[in-house]
Amino acid sequence: MAILPNFGAATFIPRAPIDNPYLPLIPGHVLSYMGDEIDPDTGEVTTERNDLFTTSATFEVRGVATTVIRDTVYEDDVILEDTFDWYAQDTAGNVWYFGEIVINYEYDDDGNFTGVNHDGEWSADDPGNQPGWAMKASPEFGPAYYLEFAPGIAEDESIIAETGLSVKTAFGQFDDVIKIIDSSALSTGVEFKYYAPGVGEITELAVAPDGSTTSKVDLYRKGQVGVADPDDTDDVTPALAKLHEGKAVKDLADVRDLDVADFTGTTKEVTVIGGSTDSVDALGAYYFDAATGGISEARILLPDLSEVVRGSSVVVDVPEGQTLGLFLVRGVDEIGVDLEQFTDGGLHLTNLLTGLPASMTDLYAPTIMDDAGNILPIQPLSALGAADGSNLLNPAGSLQAIGLSSTVEGAEGIEIVGFEDRLNTSPEYDGDFNDAIVAVSDTPIAATTLQQLLIEAGGSKPSSPVGDLLAANPSNDALEGWMASDSFQFSEGALSAERIADAGKGIMAADFAAAFGDEAFAYDDGLGGTDVIGDRGTGIDVAGVTSLGADGFFFT
């Protein structure tokens, strides 16, 4: 029979750190786990991962200011479960567990989102419930004790089974490990959990009554967010032209944060200039009050970026005193929700602990609801709100967007944003920040400047935007084999008699495009295949093309 820890005898100091060596819960720390779960009926194996994020937020339960832990579970980057757990450490060193808010996301066999449930949710504030020990002050043997006590809802109990173990995992070698066995009167089977000093849980094994393994989970990543950079004078702005697929942007803490002023208070033109990802993503927006940080209703600007022609733009009217906040939604073809229904609004970013609209000052990511208050499996990856390599508005504080620089003439005053569509806790994260690239300006971008930006952005991926340009301008003449270092010469009767050489991949003299007028474009992708010259709207007929040789043409 498990004992119920004597909560009445415990003493708590407000905001005391949770520094128990076997369960240190340090604000800003993120522990990421991954493992296989085996369906006992079908034998089907699914791989899940979860991020355990110790926030800097507190939540009062039973008169104690508990630390809020955000625990989020994913399968193939689709959210399955999201909980807010409440912990506090008493003066003796015992870590207490006070309950949790639970959101379980439900999907049908076709992957369509069907709703949420709150199974397992409980609070020590509710009648009949009591806090339990998440970790004893010292790993000594003794009777089993309750981890959580909410009769009929949560009745997990623990017992220390072994101490002084040496455990080797894919993450590393750990000594002085303790083994704790968890069980519950409300379920069958047990869980073997292993904790290492200075880390916390490192591995977990769930075993059915017949002895078969139903899941195995291991720690695979330790991270930290929210650490202030003491010196911002050395911050840099990565160059748009230097982005490359699969090549991580380094030293994110030293990357210049996006300037809120560039997104405040006027009509904004949001132009898609590039992107390279295997995911179907959407681009959304909300406004937030520049003074209070309060976030307004959100909407989806572009429901499927994979279908958007590069160079396309969306005009967004930003109310006075408000700032435009852009966000990305990853894997819109996998979350089971049609985002087309939210192009006029209807998405509400909510602080789940307070029940109030989310704020730019919140210490954890918002939960998304529709107009009726239904929770949705949408995780907005916000651009603004970043500080020194992390962004607390995003899950696990992950930085998902950076500002980029350009050498293109006329790009001054244009804010270029590069998005990364996977969380930095994902094993698939590459940190290249080229999954979606947008330019934000006060007015439409001049045609020649836009074309040069498209070229710069095209260098960030292995393929080129030629297909996009052809789709937008089906009447354009296509020239085969226009390669890097090709040369072009205009005859005396042409718009320009100047000889122009595109000296390298993705580089073309601005006056080449200018020769065709303000609405013209020309593109050399630096690769094999089709290249395009033409008018953005109607196309330009190029007559009398005569070969100069292997790498040039006359235009007359």
List, run by run, the mean pLDDT of 10-residue segments along the chain (556 residues).
Answer: 95 96 98 91 90 98 98 96 98 98 97 97 98 96 96 97 96 97 95 98 95 94 90 90 94 93 92 96 96 96 96 95 97 96 98 96 98 98 95 97 96 97 96 97 96 83 42 37 33 34 36 40 40 39 32 32
Interatomic CA distance for residues 57 and 241, integer angstroms: 39
Please give the pLDDT value at position 413. 93
Specify the pLDDT at position 553. 32
Q: In what order do the strands lie in the sheet with 299-302?
A: 299-302, 282-289, 322-329, 381-382
Angle at 25 between CA 23 and CA 29, to 5 degrees: 125
Measured in whole angstroms, the distance separating CA 206 from the mean position of its chain's CA atoms is: 30
| Concatenated DSSP letters of 454-500 | HHHHHTTSSS-THHHHHHH-TTSEEEET--TT-EEEE-TTSS----E
Per-residue DSSP letter, 505: T
Eight-class DSSP state of 244: -
| 3-state class (DSSP) for residue 545 | coil
DSSP 390-451: B-TTSGGG---EEEEB---TT-TTPEEEEE--S-TTSTT------SEEEEEESSPPPHHHHH
